[in-house]
A and B are shown apart, each in its own frame.
Chain A
Amino acid sequence: DPKIIQKPKYLVAVTGSEKILICEQYLGHNAMYWYRQSAKKPLEFMFSYSYQKLMDNQTASSRFQPQSSKKNHLDLQITALKPDDSATYFCASSHLTGAEQFFGPGTRLTVL
């Protein structure tokens, strides 16, 4: 059974629209993260949450907003989408911040 679920697997959006990427983890972890991988670029850390509180934000744009409704959920809302936002977005979790991180399968977002 998958321990970290990301939905949807693929997502196509038009420029200017808003989308929410879903992440749920069933590992009992207390820390969750978002990463992004654009074409020809390395995985890039975006956010970290611990016990549902924002710990670190490495994303300059306020268009990206994590949302944690439950301890094992960390969704990512992206507003005013741009073609440059096209990437695969990975959710990860760990027991505590600084511990080994486990990654979800990713959501591939394409913005037209």
Chain B
Amino acid sequence: GDSVTQTEGPVTVSESESLIINCTYSATSIAYPNLFWYVRYPGEGLQLLLKVITAGQKGSSRGFEATYNKETTSFHLQKASVQESDSAVYYCALDNYAQGLTFGLGTRVSVFP
């Protein structure tokens, strides 16, 4: 079946430092799945951060970026300078055009001032 592997947390980073959360995927049912990053801020529900549906393209939102790399089957999430408000749990996910999303385990990020 499909699977998603991402950086194991927790990840601790200081404000204004860079952040990268690795995500690799394996999609057995389709060559080019849709890829997503979801985020859950403390006390809030899961929400979409960004998505990319075309291999080779980059998605961005709230200062975060992720590039769909079909050669390495990766979709790493990066931000050049994090803020305390970026403290959250980040989930990488794929959609193989079936009904449900396949998620990674989630990476808890804590940003300290």
Contacts and interface: CB of A to CB of B under 8 A. Distances in A.
Interface of A: 4, 31, 33, 35, 40-46, 48, 55-56, 58, 90, 97-98, 100-106
B45 A45 contact: no
| Most chain A beta-carbon contacts within 10 A, residue among B51, B97, B98 | B98
23 contacts: A4-B45, A35-B100, A35-B103, A40-B105, A42-B102, A42-B103, A42-B105, A43-B46, A43-B101, A43-B103, A43-B106, A45-B100, A45-B101, A46-B100, A48-B99, A56-B98, A56-B99, A97-B99, A102-B47, A102-B48, A103-B38, A105-B44, A106-B45
B59 interface: no
Contacts of A45: 99-102
A96 to B, nearest CB: 11
Contacts, number: 54
A56 B98 CA distance: 8
Contact of B91 (A4, A43, A104): A43
Contacts of A4: 45
Contacts of B105: 40-42
B95 interface: yes
In the A-B complex, the 10 residue pairs with the smallest Cβ-Cβ separation, listed nearest first, are: A45-B100, A48-B99, A56-B99, A103-B46, A43-B103, A105-B45, A42-B103, A42-B105, A55-B99, A103-B45
